[in-house]
A = this chain, B = another copy of it.
Amino acid sequence: MARITVDYFSAALMRTTTLDVILPVDNVGDAMALDYNLRHNNQSAQDAPYPVRKGPFKTLFLLHGITGNHTDFISETRIRALAEDHNLAVIMPSGYNAFYLDQPETHNYYGRFVGQELVEVARAMFPLSQRREDTFIGGVSMGAYGALRNGLNYCENFGAIISLSSAMVVEGFDRIISDDLFFLSRPFLESTFGDLNHVVDSDKDPGRLAADIVYCDRPRPRVFMAIGNQDPLAPANRYLADRMRGTGIDVTYREMNGGHDWHLWNEALQQAIDWLPL
């Protein structure tokens, strides 16, 4: 299971950005089995083929939450083992606390970055499947929002969306403004989401994007949502699941025992990957 770190120049961000990547080209078990056979048959490795697994691989684009970066999933979850078990490539970008939304003034098109550019660039770098059906986007917390928003907005690219404990799917942004956390302050929310009175029903509202996809007969990604039953974000997630289902999107929604933390996400990630068509 190759573990890869990439620094590349992103045209969507106009700067070099860093990715972590998991690519299932190598496998210890394959190599050991080959070695076992060679030894027991008194053969030399010289003529044996190398046990390389070749693509095209199914691919999950996986987005971290607020305060994190591209290294989060490898440090905090067992994504490497999960990906190996399922022969899955995983692409993990950095999100810069920006909720994976475009910021045109500073030419930081974070939405295009994860929804469009990264798909093209990752396919140009690695042997990934070019098929929408084999391409998935997911994330935790801020990254779950990013996966819902960009998975739906760029629905031609993604066959499935994984949302674990999505943040910011609220119906009324004015209700959550607070001085408790920097990302709940009015200046932060306005510079990230724009006019807070017009987020609902905009292209930053996953519920609206789902309705538009169905209305315009664009490809419909399947959606997996999970959240902890002790997470204050649970009601808003449940409401969004119902809303998307109402439009005709296929939504699997699970409330699990737990809160808003890596313990829950480790378990939920396993369930989500089992749910993917792998």
A: residues with CB less than 8 A from B are 1-18, 23, 25-28, 30-32, 34-36, 39-40, 45-46, 50-55, 66-69, 71-72, 74-76, 78, 80-81, 96-98, 104-109, 112, 116-117, 120-121, 124-127, 179-183, 185, 187-188, 190-192, 262
Contacts and interface: CB of A to CB of B under 8 A. Distances in A.
A interface majority secondary structure: mixed
A31 B11 CA distance: 6
Contacts of A50: 11-12, 116-117, 120-121
B180 A69 contact: no
Contact of A71 (B3, B12, B25, B52): B3
24 contacts: A2-B125, A3-B8, A3-B75, A4-B6, A4-B7, A7-B69, A7-B71, A9-B26, A9-B67, A14-B31, A15-B67, A15-B96, A16-B71, A25-B124, A35-B182, A45-B112, A46-B112, A50-B121, A54-B124, A76-B78, A76-B80, A96-B96, A97-B107, A125-B126
Contact of A69 (B16, B98, B181): B16
Nearest to A53: B124
A3 B16 CA distance: 10
Given A78-B76, A262-B81, A8 B35 contact: no
Nearest to A4: B6
10 shortest interchain CB distances as A-B pairs: A11-B31, A2-B8, A16-B69, A105-B187, A105-B191, A39-B179, A9-B26, A107-B182, A75-B80, A52-B124
Contact of A16 (B40, B67, B188): B67
